[in-house]
Amino acid sequence: MGVMERVAPRRKKAIAPVEIEADRLLRGDCIAEMAKLPDACIDMIFADPPYNLQLGGDLFRPEGGRVDAVDNDWDKFDTLGSYDRFTKTWLAQARRILKPNGSIWVIGSYHNIFRVGTALQDEGFWILNDIIWRKSNPMPNFKGTRFTNAHETLIWASQGEDAKYTFNYKAMKTLNDELQMRSDWVLPICGGQERLKRNGTKAHPTQKPEALLYRVLLACTKPGDVVLDPFFGTGTTGAVAKRLGRRWIGIEREDSYIEVAMERIEAALPLDESALTIMQSAKGQPKVAFGTLVETGYLQPGTELMDTRRRWRAVVRADGSLSVGNDSGSIHKMGATLQGAPSCNGWTFWHYEAEGGLKPIDALRQTYLLANEP
């Protein structure tokens, strides 16, 4: 690769997202097929690129070039260089068709993931996390010459440092028993009934488990979003997208995989809407102003509020501000001021006297929402 300067392509002007026909499979080479799609039409890309050049690199060999097994220096340069050119080319297309607020996931192993990560950064993508898929049942290292290769790596990236992206924080936290979802995911490999077979042998050598795609799509897309998988294979991405109420576009050039994929997706059942509803992060929920609680009578002006340890006290005023001595302000501002902190969530900081002890004013907001929201 060498010492290429970082070239961070920046979009000159805002690009309007484009609606596109989805739930379909494009037969052909992923670079050629992506090239036919319009700019900014995809909400998320999930890619599981090949890392042997038999599949991906042929196009990028020098004209008439043939690998000479003897000339090792040239072979090495050509091999890594070809793979890098292949990666750079499909990533450039991916970047073009991805919406400004979209994000991309790429999965790989140590054979190729460092090339991919470097190319992502060089193209201007901004890495948000690297995720470790920790396999609960990996294949052992039979010869005992290395550590058991028990994981694969996924990279999650946005369009740039300041780009927005979808992250369903609360849904992930819920999925993980009310603890933040971490960057290491323990999931079994794809086997058993889930593993697709053709004539008794596995239909695809690297079929990914649906549970992996389930978590990726649940975390980073909204219902109705369009998900593109440029290396579709047997269509795990499509099947899970359908199940989760997302739309999908797959690109694949092997007829045998396409056949299996379409059959599989046809048979997949969408979850009904109630099951699809995910825990909303507080961001995006209908907002309730503290003043609303006062004017609707949930909290009387004059009520005294305090922190859990009754160290500070404030009085609710008719306009929804709090007063402490001669000072007054919002629930957040007063909480921050009293603690000498840069910020404070007033909803959880302030409490009111209730039967059985102090309760946070956030409980009142929940009560209000239950009674007043559809």
Partner DNA sequence: GACTAAAATGAATCTCGGG
Partner DNA sequence: ACCCGAGATTCATTTTAGT
Identify which of residues 22 and 185 has a Cβ nearer to DNA in the complex. 185
Q: Which of 12, 13, 72, 199 binds a second copy (CB under 8 A)?
A: 72
Residue by residue, DSSP assigns 185-247 as EEEPPS-GGGS-EETTEES-TTPPPHHHHHHHHHHH--TT-EEEESS-TT-HHHHHHHHTT-E
User: What is the distance between the alpha carbons of residues 249 and 240, in angstroms, rounded to a whole number?
Assistant: 12
Question: Residue 170 Cβ, how far from a second copy at the closest point, in Å?
Answer: 8
- Within residues 231-250, the interface with a second copy by CB under 8 A covers 244
Identify which of residues 224 and 301 has a Cβ nearer to a second copy in the complex. 301
- Within residues 108-127, the interface with a second copy by CB under 8 A covers 109-122, 124, 127
- Asked whether position 202 contacts DNA by CB under 7 A, the answer is yes
- Asked whether position 139 contacts a second copy by CB under 8 A, the answer is no
- Within residues 287-306, the interface with DNA by CB under 7 A covers 287, 289-290
Burial environment of residue 363 by CB neighbours within 10 A (0 to 12, 13 to 18, 19 or more): middle
What single-letter DSSP state applies at residue 32? H
Give a three-class secondary structure readout of 273-287: HHHHCCCCCCCCCCC
Q: Which of 200, 205, 284, 357 binds a second copy (CB under 8 A)?
A: 205
Binding mask 240-269 for DNA (x = CB under 7 A): ------------------------------
C-alpha dihedral (343, 344, 345, 351), degrees to nearest 10: -160
Q: Is 298 helix (H, G, I), strand (E, B) or coil?
A: coil
Question: Residue 90 Cβ, how far from DNA at the closest point, in Å?
Answer: 13
The item of DNA, a second copy, none sharing an interface with residue 9, based on CB under 5 to 8 Å by kind, is: a second copy
Residue 107 pairs in a beta bridge with 154
Identify which of residues 32 and 55 has a Cβ nearer to a second copy in the complex. 55
- Asked whether position 352 contacts a second copy by CB under 8 A, the answer is no
- Within residues 175-194, the interface with a second copy by CB under 8 A covers 175-178, 180-184, 186-188, 194
Find tokens 């649906």 and name the residue: 210
Count of CA atoms in the C-beta half-sphere (13 A) of 266: 6
Find the helix or strand (DSSP H, E) in which 80 lies: helix 72-97
CA angle 338, 343, 349 (to 5 degrees): 60
| Size of interface with a second copy, in residues (CB under 8 A) | 149
Q: Which of 143, 340, 355, 373 binds DNA (CB under 7 A)?
A: 143
Identify which of residues 20 and 206 has a Cβ nearer to a second copy in the complex. 206
Question: Residue 160 Cβ, how far from a second copy at the closest point, in Å?
Answer: 9
- Asked whether position 256 contacts a second copy by CB under 8 A, the answer is no
- Within residues 76-105, the interface with DNA by CB under 7 A covers none
Using the rule CB under 8 A, give the single segment among 15-23, 39-47, 105-113, 254-262 that binds a second copy: 105-113
The one-letter amino acid code at 105 reads W
The item of DNA, a second copy, none sharing an interface with residue 105, based on CB under 5 to 8 Å by kind, is: none
Identify which of residues 21 and 162 has a Cβ nearer to DNA in the complex. 162
Helices 72-97 + 113-123 axis angle, to 10: 50
- Asked whether position 6 contacts DNA by CB under 7 A, the answer is no
**228 conformational bin, left if phi > 0, alpha if psi -120 to 50, beta if neither:** beta
Question: Residue 262 Cβ, how far from a second copy at the closest point, in Å?
Answer: 21
Q: 237-256 burial by CB neighbour count: b if 16+ within 10 A, else e?
A: bbbbbbbbbbbbbbbbbeee
Q: Which residues contact 351 (CB under 8 A, 6 or more apart)?
A: 305, 306, 307, 308, 358, 359, 360, 361
| Size of interface with DNA, in residues (CB under 7 A) | 79
- Within residues 152-181, the interface with DNA by CB under 7 A covers 152, 164, 169-170, 173, 178-180
CA 123 to chain centre: 19
- Asked whether position 148 contacts a second copy by CB under 8 A, the answer is yes
